[in-house]
Amino acid sequence: MTFNREPDPFEELISAEAIARRVEELGAQITQDYGEVGDTDVVLLGVLKGSVLFLSDLARQIALPITMDFIGVASYGDATVSSGIVRITQDLSKPIEGKHVIVVEDIVDTGHTVHYLLENLATRRPASLKLCSLLHKPERCEREVVIDYLGFTIPNKFVVGYGLDVAQRWRNLPFIGYVAEP
Ligand code: IMP
Ligand code: MG
Protein backbone atom coordinates (compact mmCIF):
# COMPACT_ATOMS: atom_id res chain seq x y z
CA MET A 1 0.00 0.00 0.00
CA THR A 2 1.27 3.45 -0.85
CA PHE A 3 0.47 5.68 2.07
CA ASN A 4 -0.66 9.09 0.92
CA ARG A 5 1.08 11.52 3.23
CA GLU A 6 2.03 14.28 0.81
CA PRO A 7 3.46 16.70 1.62
CA ASP A 8 5.60 14.56 3.90
CA PRO A 9 7.44 16.72 6.44
CA PHE A 10 8.82 13.86 8.50
CA GLU A 11 12.10 12.05 8.87
CA GLU A 12 11.74 8.42 9.83
CA LEU A 13 13.13 7.67 13.28
CA ILE A 14 11.80 4.13 13.85
CA SER A 15 10.55 2.05 10.93
CA ALA A 16 7.32 0.05 10.92
CA GLU A 17 9.42 -3.13 10.74
CA ALA A 18 11.53 -2.18 13.75
CA ILE A 19 8.38 -1.35 15.72
CA ALA A 20 6.82 -4.71 14.83
CA ARG A 21 9.95 -6.61 15.92
CA ARG A 22 10.15 -4.78 19.26
CA VAL A 23 6.42 -5.21 19.94
CA GLU A 24 6.81 -8.94 19.35
CA GLU A 25 9.64 -9.06 21.91
CA LEU A 26 7.65 -7.08 24.49
CA GLY A 27 4.66 -9.37 24.00
CA ALA A 28 6.83 -12.45 24.51
CA GLN A 29 8.30 -10.95 27.68
CA ILE A 30 4.85 -10.12 29.08
CA THR A 31 3.61 -13.61 28.16
CA GLN A 32 6.50 -15.10 30.13
CA ASP A 33 6.10 -12.77 33.13
CA TYR A 34 2.33 -13.23 33.50
CA GLY A 35 2.12 -16.91 32.56
CA GLU A 36 1.26 -17.96 36.12
CA VAL A 37 -1.52 -15.39 36.55
CA GLY A 38 -5.10 -16.69 36.38
CA ASP A 39 -7.65 -16.25 33.59
CA THR A 40 -9.15 -12.79 33.00
CA ASP A 41 -6.97 -11.25 35.70
CA VAL A 42 -4.53 -9.41 33.42
CA VAL A 43 -5.80 -6.03 32.24
CA LEU A 44 -4.09 -4.12 29.44
CA LEU A 45 -4.96 -0.54 30.31
CA GLY A 46 -4.49 1.78 27.35
CA VAL A 47 -4.02 5.51 27.82
CA LEU A 48 -6.12 7.27 25.17
CA LYS A 49 -5.51 8.09 22.47
CA GLY A 50 -1.80 7.76 21.76
CA SER A 51 -1.43 4.14 22.91
CA VAL A 52 -4.23 2.69 20.78
CA LEU A 53 -2.15 1.45 17.84
CA PHE A 54 0.61 0.13 20.11
CA LEU A 55 -1.90 -1.60 22.40
CA SER A 56 -3.71 -3.34 19.57
CA ASP A 57 -0.46 -4.73 18.13
CA LEU A 58 0.94 -5.62 21.56
CA ALA A 59 -2.24 -7.45 22.60
CA ARG A 60 -1.87 -9.80 19.61
CA GLN A 61 1.66 -10.70 20.73
CA ILE A 62 0.57 -11.70 24.24
CA ALA A 63 -0.32 -15.39 24.28
CA LEU A 64 -2.46 -15.21 27.43
CA PRO A 65 -6.09 -14.43 28.18
CA ILE A 66 -6.26 -10.69 28.86
CA THR A 67 -8.91 -8.03 29.07
CA MET A 68 -8.58 -4.42 27.89
CA ASP A 69 -9.73 -1.15 29.30
CA PHE A 70 -8.97 2.48 28.52
CA ILE A 71 -8.45 5.71 30.41
CA GLY A 72 -8.36 9.19 28.93
CA VAL A 73 -6.01 11.80 30.32
CA ALA A 74 -5.19 15.30 29.16
CA SER A 75 -2.02 17.16 29.98
CA TYR A 76 -1.09 19.13 26.88
CA GLY A 77 -4.13 20.47 25.10
CA ASP A 78 -2.89 20.77 21.56
CA ALA A 79 0.40 22.42 22.47
CA THR A 80 3.69 20.59 22.63
CA VAL A 81 4.81 21.86 26.05
CA SER A 82 3.88 19.94 29.21
CA SER A 83 1.86 21.93 31.70
CA GLY A 84 2.48 19.41 34.47
CA ILE A 85 -1.27 19.50 35.09
CA VAL A 86 -3.04 16.22 34.43
CA ARG A 87 -6.74 15.39 34.52
CA ILE A 88 -8.81 12.30 33.77
CA THR A 89 -11.10 12.96 30.81
CA GLN A 90 -12.53 9.41 30.61
CA ASP A 91 -12.39 6.86 33.39
CA LEU A 92 -12.10 3.06 33.32
CA SER A 93 -15.21 1.02 32.56
CA LYS A 94 -14.57 -1.44 35.42
CA PRO A 95 -12.84 -1.53 38.81
CA ILE A 96 -9.29 -2.90 38.79
CA GLU A 97 -9.21 -4.11 42.39
CA GLY A 98 -7.41 -7.48 42.52
CA LYS A 99 -6.36 -7.31 38.85
CA HIS A 100 -2.87 -7.41 37.39
CA VAL A 101 -2.78 -4.13 35.51
CA ILE A 102 -0.34 -3.23 32.74
CA VAL A 103 -0.64 0.45 31.84
CA VAL A 104 0.15 0.91 28.13
CA GLU A 105 1.44 4.36 27.14
CA ASP A 106 2.76 5.80 23.90
CA ILE A 107 5.54 7.88 25.44
CA VAL A 108 7.02 8.96 28.75
CA ASP A 109 8.21 12.51 28.15
CA THR A 110 8.41 14.70 31.30
CA GLY A 111 6.85 11.81 33.25
CA HIS A 112 4.05 13.94 34.74
CA THR A 113 1.19 12.06 33.07
CA VAL A 114 2.34 8.58 34.02
CA HIS A 115 3.38 9.66 37.51
CA TYR A 116 -0.09 11.03 38.19
CA LEU A 117 -1.80 8.06 36.57
CA LEU A 118 0.15 5.40 38.48
CA GLU A 119 -0.53 7.15 41.80
CA ASN A 120 -4.22 7.38 40.97
CA LEU A 121 -4.49 3.74 39.84
CA ALA A 122 -2.56 2.44 42.88
CA THR A 123 -5.31 3.77 45.17
CA ARG A 124 -7.75 1.39 43.43
CA ARG A 125 -5.92 -1.60 44.92
CA PRO A 126 -4.85 -3.64 41.88
CA ALA A 127 -3.01 -6.92 42.62
CA SER A 128 -0.07 -5.50 40.67
CA LEU A 129 0.60 -2.41 38.57
CA LYS A 130 3.21 -2.18 35.84
CA LEU A 131 4.02 0.28 33.08
CA CYS A 132 4.66 -0.52 29.44
CA SER A 133 5.68 2.43 27.25
CA LEU A 134 6.54 2.35 23.58
CA LEU A 135 8.88 5.36 23.87
CA HIS A 136 10.93 7.17 26.49
CA LYS A 137 12.58 10.59 26.15
CA PRO A 138 14.95 10.60 29.16
CA GLU A 139 16.37 14.07 28.39
CA ARG A 140 13.00 15.61 29.23
CA CYS A 141 12.51 13.78 32.55
CA GLU A 142 11.02 15.89 35.35
CA ARG A 143 9.49 13.00 37.32
CA GLU A 144 11.32 9.74 37.98
CA VAL A 145 9.23 6.91 36.51
CA VAL A 146 10.03 3.19 36.40
CA ILE A 147 9.17 1.74 32.97
CA ASP A 148 8.81 -2.04 33.35
CA TYR A 149 8.49 -2.70 29.61
CA LEU A 150 10.07 -0.19 27.24
CA GLY A 151 10.05 -0.19 23.46
CA PHE A 152 12.63 2.46 22.53
CA THR A 153 14.61 5.28 24.11
CA ILE A 154 14.54 8.30 21.79
CA PRO A 155 16.36 11.66 21.57
CA ASN A 156 14.72 14.93 22.56
CA LYS A 157 12.64 15.41 19.41
CA PHE A 158 8.88 15.79 19.03
CA VAL A 159 7.74 12.61 17.31
CA VAL A 160 4.58 11.56 15.49
CA GLY A 161 3.08 8.42 14.02
CA TYR A 162 2.06 4.97 15.25
CA GLY A 163 -0.46 6.60 17.59
CA LEU A 164 1.40 9.81 18.42
CA ASP A 165 0.02 13.10 17.16
CA VAL A 166 0.56 16.79 16.65
CA ALA A 167 -2.80 18.47 17.28
CA GLN A 168 -4.56 15.11 16.68
CA ARG A 169 -2.94 14.53 13.26
CA TRP A 170 -0.50 11.93 11.97
CA ARG A 171 -1.50 9.17 14.41
CA ASN A 172 -1.96 6.77 11.49
CA LEU A 173 1.55 7.02 10.08
CA PRO A 174 2.86 3.43 10.14
CA PHE A 175 6.31 4.54 11.37
CA ILE A 176 7.57 6.97 14.01
CA GLY A 177 9.02 10.17 12.60
CA TYR A 178 10.05 13.64 13.66
CA VAL A 179 9.75 17.03 12.08
CA ALA A 180 12.90 17.56 10.04
CA GLU A 181 15.01 20.67 10.68
CA PRO A 182 15.21 22.82 7.54
P1 IMP B 1 4.47 13.73 29.85
O2 IMP B 1 3.40 13.96 30.86
O3 IMP B 1 5.30 14.96 29.62
O4 IMP B 1 5.31 12.50 30.12
O5 IMP B 1 3.77 13.56 28.45
C6 IMP B 1 3.04 12.48 28.15
C7 IMP B 1 2.12 12.74 26.97
O8 IMP B 1 2.51 13.85 26.15
C9 IMP B 1 2.21 11.52 26.08
O10 IMP B 1 1.30 10.54 26.50
C11 IMP B 1 1.90 12.11 24.73
O12 IMP B 1 0.51 12.12 24.52
C13 IMP B 1 2.41 13.53 24.78
N14 IMP B 1 3.74 13.63 24.15
C15 IMP B 1 4.93 13.80 24.76
N16 IMP B 1 5.95 13.84 23.89
C17 IMP B 1 5.37 13.66 22.67
C18 IMP B 1 5.92 13.60 21.32
O19 IMP B 1 7.14 13.69 21.07
N20 IMP B 1 5.01 13.43 20.34
C21 IMP B 1 3.68 13.31 20.54
N22 IMP B 1 3.14 13.36 21.78
C23 IMP B 1 3.98 13.54 22.83
MG1 MG C 1 -0.58 10.31 25.42
pLDDT digits (tens, 9 = 90+) for 118-176: 999 999 999 999 999 999 999 989 999 999 999 999 999 999 999 999 889 899 999 99
Identify residue 24 by its one-letter amino acid code.
E
User: Given this model, what pLDDT does residue 98 score?
Assistant: 96
Query: What is the rounded distance in angstroms from the CA atom of residue 132 to the CA atom of residue 134?
Result: 7
Query: What is the rounded distance in angstroms from the CA atom of residue 59 to the CA atom of residue 73?
Result: 21
Nearest ligand to the CA atom of 118: 1
Identify residue 53 by its one-letter amino acid code.
L
User: Given this model, what pLDDT does residue 85 score?
Assistant: 74
Nearest CA to ligand 1 atom 11: 107
Digit-coded pLDDT (tens) for 102-130: 999 999 999 999 999 999 999 999 999 99
Are the CB atoms for 92 and 69 separated by under 8 Å? yes
Digit-coded pLDDT (tens) for 32-86: 999 988 666 999 999 999 999 999 999 999 999 999 999 999 875 555 556 667 8
109 catalytic residue (yes or no): yes
Nearest atom (ligand 1) to Cα of 178:
19
